[in-house]
Amino acid sequence: MGSPEFIVKMREKIGHDPLWLPGVCGVVFDAEGRVLLGERSDTGGWALITGILEPGEEPGPGLVREIFEETAVVATIEHLMGITVVGPVTFPNGDVCDFLSIEFICRHISGTARFNDDESVAVGWFSVDGLPPLRPGHLACIQRAVAFSGEAHFQR
Domain with 78 in it: what CATH number? 3.90.79.10
In a domain, 91, yes or no: yes
pLDDT digits (tens, 9 = 90+) for 72-118: 999 999 999 999 999 999 988 899 999 999 999 999 999 999 988 88
- In-domain check, residue 55: yes
pLDDT, tens only, 3-49: 889 999 999 999 999 999 999 999 999 999 999 999 988 788 999 99
> 6: helix, coil or strand?
helix
The whole domain housing 24 covers 5-151
- What pTM was computed for the model? 0.93
Q: Is residue 156 part of a domain?
A: no
- In whole angstroms, how far apart are CA 151 and each of 49, 79, 128, 145? 22, 10, 21, 11
Amino acid (one-letter) located at 67: I
Integer Cα distance of 18 and 90 in angstroms: 9
d(CA 86, CA 99): 5
- Count the domains in the chain: 1
Is 44 inside a domain boundary? yes
pLDDT band at 1 (very low <50, low <70, confident <90, very high): low
